């Protein structure tokens, strides 16, 4: 499902009795000082059922912060918030950041220690076999596995809050850039992305195949941009064929695993050791290998096989050669097809006239050029840019030349 229009930048989920008047209030203020729209429920929890307005506030937020504290799991209200937050993460790609405030992620994951004692009260109330309790347990485990921020008792809270706010700003800026990319003239992409996204729900490895200039990379990039924040690690490895010739396999593999492990740029991986591979086995990752032209590239980049990929991880491969995808054994092959007539005319017009449709006086000429491009996105962009702001006479001249000498820049991508 497509991302929603958001009213809030950040939603804060917290146990009021634990952190309302200290950590969470300071964090809330720091976020407001950065001119962010923040939803923090000021009411005291009352009753068992979470309000519909609170559920709506979660849905209308770009990012949810979960402040896990010692008594978080004693509140049915908090746990229902958590379940809904993770549902929004799956449905809309909402960013979710857990903060482990004076608690251990392990205790949350296993509902143990003092955190488990708080959860035990709900177990007694609802019974250990209830569906609701099972839902809460799964949500706690899933959230504890997300990349977040540890806040031990002996850590300076002002420094911690500063770091959290900085991280949130980076994530929101990245999300905004992604949104700009998705809305930047990607004609005909919405239905294609929706189709690919539905396939990725069912298959671990998806192949996108088509001739050069058909928009495989653009399609994969748009899909990656829409869903990457649902994963714990991600990497878009672009132009594998070209980069392989320049830098060789080990260099690309180092780049891939560095990004998946969230390594700092100055913390290079010399080789993938068993410890680092074990870490990746526990992370849900998204990998795009763009423009493969050899099965060996896939095998070297993924260290021989796909078996180490964590459940829920996804790999997207683009290539011009369908046989490569068959030899790799991808679970689904999707062909990158030409744009239909309306889409082609719109894409050409965006590049040729900076508008969705050509002027009436240029409509007939535009249709001639669009027919020549045969629905190929790259050809439409190149020809549109080439003819931008030129006279009708220059258009006619260009069209006549295309009949005899097809555009070299377009042909070079075929």
Catalytic residues, which ones?
81
- The H or E element containing residue 324 is helix 322-328
CA 7 to mean position of chain CA atoms: 20
Cα–Cα distance between 169 and 35 in angstroms, integer?
11
- The residue among 121, 135, 123, 148 whose CA lies nearest residue 81 is 135
Neighbours of 87 (CB within 10 A): 15
- 79 contacts: CB under 8 Å, gap ≥ 6: 73, 122, 136, 139, 140
Cα–Cα distance between 385 and 362 in angstroms, integer?
15
* In contact, 102 and 153? CB cutoff 8 Å: yes
Neighbours of 5 (CB within 10 A): 6
Give the CA distances from residue 32 to residues 9, 27, 35, 101, 158, in Å, rounded to whole numbers and listed in that order.
10, 9, 5, 20, 15
State the maximum Cα–Cα separation within the chain, in Å, rounded to a whole number. Answer: 83
Cα–Cα distance between 80 and 159 in angstroms, integer?
30
- The residue among 336, 399, 335, 404 whose CA lies nearest residue 373 is 399
Cα–Cα distance between 77 and 327 in angstroms, integer?
51
DSSP 339: P
């Amino acid at each position: 499902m497509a991302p929603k229009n958001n009213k809030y930048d950040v939603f804060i989920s917290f146990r009021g009795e634990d952190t309302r008047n200290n950590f969470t209030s300071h964090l809330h203020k720091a976020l407001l000082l950065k001119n962010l729209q923040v939803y923090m429920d000021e009411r005291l929890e009352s009753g068992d059922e979470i309000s519909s307005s609170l559920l709506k506030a979660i849905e209308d937020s770009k990012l949810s912060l979960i402040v896990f504290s010692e008594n978080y799991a004693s509140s049915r209200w908090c746990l229902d918030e958590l379940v809904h937050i993770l549902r929004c993460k799956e449905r809309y790609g909402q960013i979710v950041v857990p903060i482990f405030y004076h608690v251990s992620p392990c205790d949350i994951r296993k509902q143990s220690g003092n955190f488990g004692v708080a959860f035990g009260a709900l177990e007694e109330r609802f019974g250990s076999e209830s569906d609701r309790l099972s839902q809460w347990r799964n949500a706690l485990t899933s959230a504890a596995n997300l990349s977040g921020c540890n806040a031990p008792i002996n850590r300076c809270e002002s420094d911690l809050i500063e770091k959290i706010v900085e991280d949130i700003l980076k994530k929101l800026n990245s999300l905004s850039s992604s949104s700009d990319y998705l809305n930047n003239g990607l004609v005909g992409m919405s239905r294609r992305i929706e189709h690919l996204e539905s396939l990725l729900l069912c298959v671990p490895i998806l192949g996108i195949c088509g001739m050069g200039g058909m928009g495989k990379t653009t399609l994969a990039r748009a899909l990656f941009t829409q869903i990457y924040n649902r994963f714990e690690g991600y990497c878009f490895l672009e132009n594998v064929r070209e980069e392989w010739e320049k830098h060789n396999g080990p260099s690309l593999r180092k780049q891939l695993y560095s990004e998946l492990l969230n390594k700092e740029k100055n913390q290079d991986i010399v080789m993938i050791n068993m410890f680092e591979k074990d870490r990746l086995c526990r992370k849900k990752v998204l990998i795009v290998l763009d423009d493969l032209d050899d099965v060996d590239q896939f095998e070297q980049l993924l260290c021989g096989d796909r078996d180490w990929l964590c459940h829920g991880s996804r790999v997207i491969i683009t290539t011009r050669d369908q046989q490569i995808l068959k030899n790799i054994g991808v679970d689904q092959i999707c062909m990158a097809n030409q744009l239909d007539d309306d889409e082609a005319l719109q894409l050409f017009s965006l590049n040729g006239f900076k508008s969705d449709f050509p002027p009436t006086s240029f409509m007939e000429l535009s249709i001639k050029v669009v027919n020549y491009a045969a629905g190929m996105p790259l050809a439409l962009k190149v020809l549109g840019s080439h003819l931008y702001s030129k006279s009708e006479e220059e258009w006619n001249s260009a069209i006549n030349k295309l009949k005899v000498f097809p555009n070299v820049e377009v042909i070079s991508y075929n």
